[in-house]
Amino acid sequence: MENSNHITSYSTDAKTLVALLTLSVVNMLIATYKPVAWTSGLIVFVAAIQAAIALYWFMHLKFDNRLLRMLVIFVFLLYAVVIIITFFDYKFR
């Protein structure tokens, strides 16, 4: 049964799923590696790549209009500012 409303092909969805699962395994391997100063930063970086892939292909942000993309970017930037402010508050208490 063919779904005419499906934007991407099922092979693209499968490739995206494999990429997300592979990056999850990479994150698990990084987490089990001997902890050094940059380990947690690398885990967060890989998780950010996973989030970008999920937003871009699984949530079809790639095919949405420019305004919606800008709103999503704005929300993530606002979230980053709130987290940074929280860390500064914690640091200087």
Sequence-ordered alpha helix ranges (H) in 33-65: 39-53
pTM: 0.72
Say if CB 60 and CB 12 are below 8 A apart: no
Residue 11 CB-density burial (10 A; 0-12 exposed, 13-18 middle, 19+ buried):
exposed
pLDDT digits (tens, 9 = 90+) for 56-77: 888 888 888 889 889 988 998 9
pLDDT digits (tens, 9 = 90+) for 25-48: 999 999 998 888 888 889 989 999
C-alpha distances in Å from residue 11, one per residue of 48, 57, 77: 23, 12, 32
Domain extent listing, the chain: 1-59, 64-93
Q: Tokens standing for 76?
A: 């993530």
Chain-wide mean pLDDT for the chain? 87
